[in-house]
Amino acid sequence: MLYLSTSLSGAGDMKITIISNTGMEWTVDILPEYTVEKLKQMSLSHFCNPLDCIKLSEYYKLVSVSQARPLSDHSSVREEKVSDGDEVLLLKRNSVFPPKSDKPTEKLGPPDKATIESATTNVEPMNFGRPAVVLFSQVLDFHTELRRILVSLVELSEKLLRHHPDAKNIFKNLPSKLTQPSSDDSDLNALKKLTDMGFEEQLSLQALKENKMCPRLAMESLLAKGCKREGERTSDSGLKASNTGVQGNFGSSEKDGPSCGATRNTEESSREGIVHAMLECFQEYKRKDFKPNRKAMITLKEMGFPETAILDALRIHSNSQEAAVRC
């Protein structure tokens, strides 16, 4: 329904001025019973195309200048307290964005093999004779890269020392310093500690070299090797005992003093049992205080090693997975 003029309805109780968003003014006679929506459609039919006033109605609003607030579309002019001679602005509403749909967004992923084959059915095969490009995805050997880095550092140090005034004397004395044996007090003290504990001097020196002259690590390495030797010795003694049990009747007549040999064997076995128990107690004590690398532990377990052997190997070699595997 179009409202082109107010003379048809006989309205003329009050006059208001409507100002459009372009600055044009229109004075119209209305009744207080008119709704704000009806007044808005009358204004749009005046300022715009009368055929589009209903469509454009939802995109506009009326704002009272005296009250400085927008008017409700469903209320009447009397309810909105619009008086005679008031000015009303016809303004565009802010653009209303459509509400977001609650549908879950589809995750974009790579195409599968069936999709690729269906999309490339009509494509002619090309360049199958060309050799495949080998991607550089292999992990380089750590020791090879380390040697390259060391060589680069040596070359750089040679360039830096080339023009140094004391370089000739340094290089003259370098061979003698490298060849002469190192007599460090700390090394001797560490070796003395291990020999006082009862370890052999040669084994202690080798253990110190393997563990960067650290007495604690060297002692643990020696104890671990002692446990291994003890286990091998007990297994060998078990085999020998079984063999001697089979051939006991034949060798009893040829031995002198069988009672002395029996007492010796019992003493040695009891001594070995005490040493083995002490070593096991020490190993259990060190296992409790040691915190292994979880990643290395899981990897070694997947390789099939027992948990106690993994703990001992990682503890001896300072959580080094490669050294533990070699051990």
Structural domains of the chain, ranges and CATH numbers in brackets: 14-92 (3.10.20.90), 186-240+265-282 (1.10.8), 290-327 (1.10.8.10)
Give the residue-averaged pLDDT of 251-278: 54
**Structure-token pair, residue 220:** 């643990």
Q: What is the pLDDT of residue 235?
A: 56
Q: What is the pLDDT of residue 9?
A: 42
pLDDT at 11 over 60: no
Beta-carbon contacts of residue 85 (< 8 Å; ≥ 6 apart): 14, 15, 16, 17
pLDDT at 255 over 80: no
pLDDT at 200 over 80: yes
Average pLDDT value for the chain? 74
Give the residue-averaged pLDDT of 256-260: 48
Count of other CB atoms within 10 angstroms of residue 318: 13
Give the residue-averaged pLDDT of 121-146: 65
Q: CB burial class (10 A; 0-12, 13-18, 19+) of residue 316?
A: buried
Nearest to 210 by CA among 78, 90, 105, 317: 317
pLDDT at 101 over 70: no
Q: What is the pLDDT of residue 141?
A: 64
Q: Is the pTM of this model over 0.75?
A: no
User: 33-42, 286-295, 316-325: which has the highest mean pLDDT?
Assistant: 33-42
Tens digit of pLDDT for each residue in 172-197? 777 777 666 555 555 778 888 888 88
Give the residue-averaged pLDDT of 78-83: 88
Q: What is the pLDDT of residue 2?
A: 46
Top pLDDT among 104 and 318 is at: 318
Instruction: Report in angstroms the alpha-carbon separations of 179 from 65, 167, 173, 216.
Output: 103, 19, 10, 28
Q: What is the pLDDT of residue 288?
A: 64
Q: What is the pLDDT of residue 246?
A: 43
**Structure-token pair, residue 168:** 């000739």
Top pLDDT among 327 and 21 is at: 21
Percent of the chain with pLDDT over 90: 0
Top pLDDT among 279 and 240 is at: 279
CA distance 208 to 152: 30
Q: What is the pLDDT of residue 7?
A: 44
CA distance 180 to 183: 9
Give the residue-averaged pLDDT of 35-53: 86
Pairing relationship of beta strands 60-64 and 69-70 according to DSSP bridges: antiparallel
User: 118-132, 276-290, 309-323: which has the highest mean pLDDT?
Assistant: 309-323
Top pLDDT among 38 and 162 is at: 38
CA distance 36 to 43: 10
Top pLDDT among 42 and 11 is at: 42
Q: What is the pLDDT of residue 106?
A: 63
- Predicted confidence band at 267 (pLDDT cuts at 50, 70, 90)? low
pLDDT at 237 over 70: no
Top pLDDT among 256 and 122 is at: 122
CA distance 185 to 64: 99
**Helix, strand, coil tally for the chain in percent (to 5):** 55, 10, 35
Q: What is the pLDDT of residue 279?
A: 65
Q: What is the pLDDT of residue 266?
A: 61
Q: What is the pLDDT of residue 322?
A: 79
Q: Tell me which H or E stretch contains 306.
A: none
- Say if residues 190 and 215 touch (Cβ distance below 8 Å): yes
